């Protein structure tokens, strides 16, 4: 088990300060996460549930007002959160790389694509600019960019959104990292491009043996690419299962709500289910179970006590007093 684990996050707490307030808002509240080697782990949840903050905490890329309050992130046995800035920079972009949601704004508009890819290469490995260029063209070709020699000298605005995301992936994969963190990489793209990008990521993963942490709110993406899934709600993991278990028998009412909110072919004319209410304010979390105010099954106990993350068997974890197997009962 240990040998197969690439990254283990333990008890991660991350909070943010905001102007004119003394109390900090805790965006990630004790998250545990394990990413096995060569696997794709999904991190799913609504906007603002702490998915991205979890990833940025691991990368050490939180905004100035953010801070990791507690926790460990053991990467190949080394705690990333205890590293100095300088040590972390050697890992960032090299052993762990990241791609972001907005390919339109995530590339520097005044630098050529080639320059932006070779930059990481030359930073982390000792190669000449000619070799770097060669490698860049290879990776551009690999991520499916036509005429890579020509694209090498292009500026980002000369490429389409799909091509730019391919460039981002190429940039992240050029050093063959152990872990690729993908923060909603296909959200800004249209559906046909999304499928291509996911296929590309899958292919690269098989080739290079990279682990992927896929952050998404899209269960379709999860079904497409993930091996294991963590469902987050209000800064906490509420359910964890392998992808088959999750889709067949998710147990947490929140996950079931998410599943029921997916449009279905068969249910013609039926109103689409939605989870009532909204995500609670970070500074005003409900006591007890954080999902209880929106849960159809909540009782007195749920509002009083916080349910632990319990194992339902086979590593299927669920944070609910009344887990109910069999996803489609809603």
Partner 1 sequence: MGKFIIKRVLVTIPVLLGMIFLIFFMLNVVPGDPLTVMMKEHLNEDVLENLRANMHLDDPFLVRYVRYVWDALHGDLGMSWKLNRSVTNLIATAFPYTLKLAIAAALFSWVMGIPIGIVSAVKKNSLIDHLSMGLSLFGVSMPVFWIALILQETFKNILPISGLSTWQSYILPTIVLGWSSAGRIARLTRSNLLEVMRNDYIRTARSKGLSPLRVITGHALKNALIPVITVMAIQIASLLSGAVITETIFSIPGVGRLAVDAINKRDMPLLQGTVIFTAVLIIAGNLLADVLYSVVDPRIRVE
Using the rule CB under 8 A, which residue among 98, 189, 200, 238 binds partner 1?
98
Non-local (6+) Cβ contacts of 224 within 8 A are: 195, 198
Q: Does 202 bind partner 1 (CB under 8 A)?
A: no
Q: Does 107 bind partner 1 (CB under 8 A)?
A: yes
Strands 317-318 and 236-242: antiparallel
Q: Does 164 bind partner 1 (CB under 8 A)?
A: no
Query: Smallest distance from the beta carbon of 220 to partner 1, in angstroms?
Result: 24
Helix (H) or strand (E) holding 166: helix 161-173
Q: Does 123 bind partner 1 (CB under 8 A)?
A: yes
- If DSSP codes are grouped into helix, strand and coil, which group holds residue 7? strand
Residue 88: Cβ within 10 Å count: 16
Q: Is the CB of 4 or the CB of 108 nearer to partner 1? A: 108
Q: Is the CB of 156 or the CB of 327 nearer to partner 1? A: 156
Q: Does 69 bind partner 1 (CB under 8 A)?
A: no
Q: Does 155 bind partner 1 (CB under 8 A)?
A: yes
Query: Smallest distance from the beta carbon of 234 to partner 1, in angstroms?
Result: 24
Distance CA 230, CA 33 (A): 8
Q: Is the CB of 112 or the CB of 196 nearer to partner 1? A: 112
- DSSP letter at 286 equals P
Q: Does 94 bind partner 1 (CB under 8 A)?
A: yes
Lookup: tokens for 22: 């003394």
Query: Smallest distance from the beta carbon of 81 to partner 1, in angstroms?
Result: 16
Strands 5-16 and 25-36: antiparallel
Residue 255: Cβ within 10 Å count: 24
Using the rule CB under 8 A, which residue among 105, 129, 160, 278 binds partner 1?
105
Beta strands of the chain (E only): which ranges?
5-16, 25-36, 40-44, 66-75, 78-79, 96-99, 179-183, 211-216, 228-233, 236-242, 310-311, 317-318
Query: Smallest distance from the beta carbon of 142 to partner 1, in angstroms?
Result: 18
The site map against partner 1 for 229-268 (x = CB under 8 A) is ----------------------------------------
Q: Does 20 bind partner 1 (CB under 8 A)?
A: no
Using the rule CB under 8 A, which residue among 100, 152, 230, 254 binds partner 1?
100
Q: In what order do the strands lie in the sheet with 5-16?
A: 25-36, 5-16, 66-75, 78-79
**Residues in region 171-190 near partner 1 by CB under 8 A:** 171
Number of residues that bind partner 1 (CB under 8 A): 29
Q: Does 102 bind partner 1 (CB under 8 A)?
A: yes
Beta strands of 114-247 (E only): which ranges?
179-183, 211-216, 228-233, 236-242
- If DSSP codes are grouped into helix, strand and coil, which group holds residue 221? helix
Q: Tell me the backbone φ, ψ of residue 34, rounded to 5 degrees.
A: -125, 130
- 25, 282 contact by CB (below 8 A): yes
Interface segment toward partner 1; rule CB under 8 A; list 40-48, 107-115, 264-272, 311-319: 107-115
Q: Does 92 bind partner 1 (CB under 8 A)?
A: yes
Interface segment toward partner 1; rule CB under 8 A; list 72-80, 85-93, 266-274, 304-312: 85-93
Using the rule CB under 8 A, which residue among 11, 18, 21, 61 binds partner 1?
61
Q: Does 158 bind partner 1 (CB under 8 A)?
A: yes
Binding site for partner 1 (CB under 8 A): 59, 61, 86, 89-94, 97-98, 100, 102, 105-111, 119-120, 123-124, 155, 157-158, 168, 171
């Amino acid at each position: 088990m240990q040998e197969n684990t690439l990254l283990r996050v333990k008890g991660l707490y991350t909070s943010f300060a905001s102007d004119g307030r003394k109390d900090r808002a805790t965006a990630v509240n004790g998250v545990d996460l394990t990413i096995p080697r060569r696997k794709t782990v999904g991190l799913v949840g609504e906007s603002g549930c702490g998915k991205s903050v979890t990833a940025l905490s691991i990368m050490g890329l939180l905004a100035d007002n953010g801070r990791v309050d507690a926790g460990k992130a053991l990467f190949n046995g080394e705690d990333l959160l205890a590293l100095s800035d300088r040590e972390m920079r050697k890992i960032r972009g090299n052993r762990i790389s990241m791609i972001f949601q907005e390919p339109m704004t995530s590339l520097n508009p005044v630098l050529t694509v080639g320059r932006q890819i070779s930059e990481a290469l030359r930073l982390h490995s000792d190669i000449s600019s000619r070799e770097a260029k060669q490698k860049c063209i290879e990776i551009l070709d690999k991520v499916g960019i036509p005429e890579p020699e020509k694209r090498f000298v292009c500026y980002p605005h000369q490429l389409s959104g799909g091509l730019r995301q391919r460039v981002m992936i190429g940039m992240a994969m050029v050093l063959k990292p152990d872990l690729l963190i993908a923060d909603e990489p296909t959200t800004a793209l249209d559906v046909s491009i999304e499928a291509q990008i996911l296929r590309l990521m899958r292919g690269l993963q098989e080739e290079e043996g990279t682990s992927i942490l896929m952050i998404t709110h899209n269960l379709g993406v999860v079904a497409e690419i993930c091996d294991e899934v963590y469902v987050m709600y209000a800064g906490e993991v509420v359910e964890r299962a392998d992808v088959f278990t999750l889709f067949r028998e998710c147990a947490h009412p929140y996950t079931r709500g998410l599943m029921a909110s997916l449009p279905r072919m068969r249910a013609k004319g039926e109103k689409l289910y939605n989870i009532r209410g909204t995500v609670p304010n970070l500074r005003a979390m409900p006591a007890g179970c954080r999902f209880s105010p929106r849960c159809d099954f909540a009782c007195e106990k749920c509002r009083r006590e916080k349910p632990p993350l319990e194992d339902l068997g086979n590593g299927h974890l669920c944070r609910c007093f009344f887990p109910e197997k069999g996803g489609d009962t809603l």
